[in-house]
Every structure is written in structure tokens, then in C-alpha cells.
Amino acid sequence: MKLRIALVQMEINDGKKDENLKNALSHLKEIKKLKEVPDIVCLPELFTSGYDLRNTPQYAESIPSSTIEKIKEISEDKFIVIGSILEKDEGKFFNTAFILNKKGNIIGKYRKVHLFSPMLEKEFLTPGNEMDIFTIEELDDLKIGLAICYDLRFPELFRILTLKGAKIIFLPSEFPSPKRDAWKTLIRSRAIENQIYIVGVNRVGQGKSNHFFGNSIMTNGEFIVILNNKPQIKIVDIDVAELKKIRNNLPLLKDRREDLYSFKI
């Protein structure tokens, strides 16, 4: 199955929610005008608030949120949108990724499991405790997974999503400098070891406490597209059927030992 995916690498102004949302919506409007619109559009992590977590209660929204409703007005009947925002639920706050389908319905959400303490997530947010794959009916029942930024450093999460059937894992991110080499190495590693597509969409520009280098990536380990360090929208065409060829050539998933954790150490 062939797919067209848009990576929206955008600059985010920490704490300027209205400004950031306006920026994101303008990108979606720009994409909507394309002669051939993409099937899926991916935005960065916390694209409305950035990492101004001390003011989380001011920015967090209950899902379905006003932000998602505004995205729906643009994207409905055109493309699927994936991104991450601050969510509030029963007095707790989460870094939550969502999938909004072409009908404007939320068909999946994922609360970030691994919170990044150097950027104060553990101080102000609650970690999620669930993960799953999501089936997109409009795209021939394509199965995808969600992860967020720091999750990239925990390979077991990606292996579990792969074993559940994910063919693509989307990774909205705010991966900070000076970790560019780690970002590129880890994304390609997760793709190679699981024989899947990884779509990592990173923020660019200067935040209150960190700089962000962009370099958004789409790869299956062999095929790879890397963006620059400027705000940019990149449309990439892929063929999910390529994964079958990769797995036939090297059957990693079939050859793995399911009884590995019973070994004596």
C-alpha cells in the first residue's frame, strides 16, 4: 500500500499557545491546498504549548479539545492528523498524542509513558500506563503505533508495538540539542531492529531553556529522508509493501527467541 505522509517541522514559542496553534493551523491550511494532499500529517510534540510546563494547567485541555476541533475544521475529509498536546483528566496532566481520522473522529490517543526529567516532565506531568496499535480504516486497515520523543530511548516499547502489528510508528518530538546524532541513530536503529517505518517529527528553534535542531526523519532502516534545521513541510511517499520484502530477506521477527526471558543469567 502506497502512502503520502507530511512531516510538519515547525518552530514553537514556549507558552504562546494561541500563536502556536495559529501557526499549526496555517500549516494544515497550506497542506490542504496541495494538488495531491497527503494521507497523514504529523505535527511535533506539544505543538501548542512547547515546554513551558510550569504553566501546564493554563494550557492543558480535556480531550476532545478545542485544539482538536479547530484541526478537524481544516482536515476533515482530507487527511489524518497526528500530534501531541497537554491533556488534563481528573486533576492529572499528560503529554498525549492523538490520531484524528478523515471523518474528524479521534481514533486513538497515547499518553507518554517515559517522562523526560531534564525538561521537568516528571515534576508536572503524569506518565501514561497504556499503549496499543490503532487501525486506520480509510487506509486499508493500516495498523500504526504512537510514541513520543523520549520513548525513543526505550526499544522494548517499539518491539511490543511491532509485535502487535504496527507497520508505522509515529513519533512527535521535541528532541533538544546537542542530541542530534543520538536522534538520527536511535530512530534508524528502532526501524532496523523492528523492520518498520518510523516517522519522527521534531521541533526547530530556540525554547526557553533548550535549542531544537529539527532533522525530522522518516525511515524503514534502508529508505531514509532527513529534514534540515529550519521550519519545513516535507511530503514523503512510501510503500508499506516494502516492509514485506525487507522481512523476507532477513526474518528477524520470525527468528527471535520468545523464550529469551527464561534464560539463566
Instruction: Tell me the DSSP string of 102-114.
Output: TTS-EEEEEE-SS
257 within a domain of the structure (yes/no):
no
Is residue 130, in this structure, part of any structural domain at all? yes
Instruction: Say which residues have a Cβ less than 8 Å from residue 214's Cβ, sequence separation at least 6.
Output: 9, 202, 203, 204, 227, 228, 229, 230, 232
Catalytic residue among 17, 121, 149, 167: 149
In the prediction, which pLDDT does 131 show? 94
CATH number at residue 138: 3.60.110.10
Predicted confidence band at 265 (pLDDT cuts at 50, 70, 90)?
confident
**Is the predicted pLDDT of residue 261 greater than 90, yes or no?**
no
In a domain, 264, yes or no: no
Q: Give the count of beta carbons closer than 10 Å to the beta carbon of residue 58.
A: 11
pLDDT at 260: 85
- Whether 188 is covered by a domain: the verdict is yes
d(CA 178, CA 9): 18
Closest among 223, 178, 232, 225 to 203, alpha carbons compared: 232
At 218 the pLDDT is 98
Annotated active-site residue 70? The verdict is no
Inside any domain, residue 51: yes
For the stretch 217-244, pLDDT in tens is 999 999 999 999 999 999 999 999 999 9
Q: Given 17, 45, 61, 87, which residue is catalytic? A: 45
Range of the domain at 9: 2-252
pLDDT at residue 25, rounded to an integer = 98
Q: pTM of the entire structure? A: 0.96
Q: What is the reported pLDDT for 166?
A: 98
Tens digits of per-residue pLDDT, 174-193?
999 999 999 999 999 999 99
Is residue 260 one of the residues assigned to a domain? no
Question: Which residue shows C-alpha cell 505522509?
Answer: 5
**Mean pLDDT along residues 2-21:** 97
SS (H, E, C) 127-194: CCCCCCEEEEHHHCCEEEEECCHHHHHCHHHHHHHHHCCCCEEEEEECCECCCHHHHHHHHHHHHHHH
CB 173 within 8 A of CB 152: yes
The CB-side HSE value for 85 (13 A sphere, CA atoms) comes to 27
Residue 17 pLDDT class (50, 70, 90 cuts)? very high
Asked if residue 265 belongs to a domain, the reply is no
Tell me, yes or no, if 19 is annotated catalytic: no
Asked whether the predicted pLDDT for residue 139 surpasses 90, the reply is yes
The pLDDT, as a whole number, for residue 178 is 96
- In the predicted structure, residue 258 carries a pLDDT above the cut 90: no
Q: What is the pLDDT of residue 264?
A: 86
Alpha carbon distance, N-terminus to C-terminus of the chain: 43
Predicted pLDDT of residue 236: 97
Residue 261 is assigned to a structural domain of this protein: no
Domain count within the chain: 1
149 a catalytic residue: yes
The active-site residue, picked from 17, 102, 109, 112, is: 112
